[in-house]
Amino acid sequence: MKLVTLLSAAALLVLPLRAGDYDALGKTLKHAWPHCATVAVVCDAASSRGAVDSLAASLPGLKLMVVDVKGPQELGRAIATLGQHKPDAVVLVAGDHVVGDGSSAASFLIQRMAALKVPTAATTEQALKQGAVLAVGPGTGGKVMANAHAAGATGAAIPAGAVQI
């Protein structure tokens, strides 16, 4: 496992492979959680490079912390790293083969981050059902969706007009 920190401005120099997938999430996250300065993502960085680049491009001015994991066995160390560096939010990469939405690793990560009072955001409704606080993007049909229970557990604000599950 390795920790990689990217500055969003540097990522803008790289053409994202999935342009737009994270634009709505980036705007919603910045509006709903204006205090947010550092966003973390836990994924297999090599396999999810396009998604990470797209996410970085959608979060200008924010620091993106990428925790690279090659398998679920590295998740414990990844969570320890996040606990040590304490990001303001964690974003799930929907299609990541290690910590993608719907996986048991994603559920474990969401639960551990909630215990640390760090909200999780995603692009699919499935992630909300797993305990993420908010979701908006391709997997929600563009609707801003929120999980009120998860928001309460982490102390995160729910965006106005969000569809609650």
pLDDT in tens, 29-44: 999 999 999 999 999 9
Where are any strands of DSSP class E within the chain?
2-7, 38-43, 63-68, 89-91, 120-124, 134-139, 145-146, 163-164
Tokens, residue 1:
């496992």
Q: Between the CA of residue 127 and those of 11, 26, 67, 95, what are the distances in Å?
A: 25, 16, 19, 11
How confident is residue 111, by pLDDT bands cut at 50, 70 and 90?
very high
Domain of 56, in residue numbers: 2-164
What is the average pLDDT across 89-96? Answer: 96
Position 11 pLDDT exceeds 90: no
**Predicted pLDDT at 3:** 59
Q: Assign 142 to helix, strand or coil.
A: coil
Count of domains in the chain? 1
Say which CATH number the domain at 134 has. Answer: 3.40.50.2300
